[in-house]
Amino acid sequence: MQIIVYFFAAAFAFMAVALMLTYQRTHDYGVLVLGVAYGVSAALAVALTHWWPLAAGFALVWILRLLGVDPDVRRKKDEQS
C-alpha cells in the first residue's frame, strides 16, 4: 500500500511542478493555487504515508476548478479562424 501512496504522491508532485512552471510563464494566480494544492497534498501524503491527503487534495483541486480558478484554455469559435 505504501508503494501506491508514493506513486500517486510522485504524480501529484509532478503536476505541482508542471503547474508552477506554467505559473512562471502565464502569471495566472489560479494556476499557482492549483499547483500549491497538488504540492501540499503530495508532501502530506509522503510525510504521513497515508492516502487521505491525496484524496483531499484531489477533491480540493476539483472544487477549485468548478469554482473557476482553473484558466480556460479553450478558444471561442470566432478566434479559431
Q: Which residues of the chain have pLDDT under 50?
A: none
Domain boundaries, the chain: 2-70
DSSP H or E run through 40 = helix 29-48
Q: What is the pLDDT of residue 70?
A: 83
Instruction: Give me the long-range contacts of 15-19 (CB less than 8 A, separation at least 24).
Output: 16/42
Per-position b or e across 33-54, b if 16+ CB within 10 A of its CB: bbbebbbbbbbbbbeeeeeebb
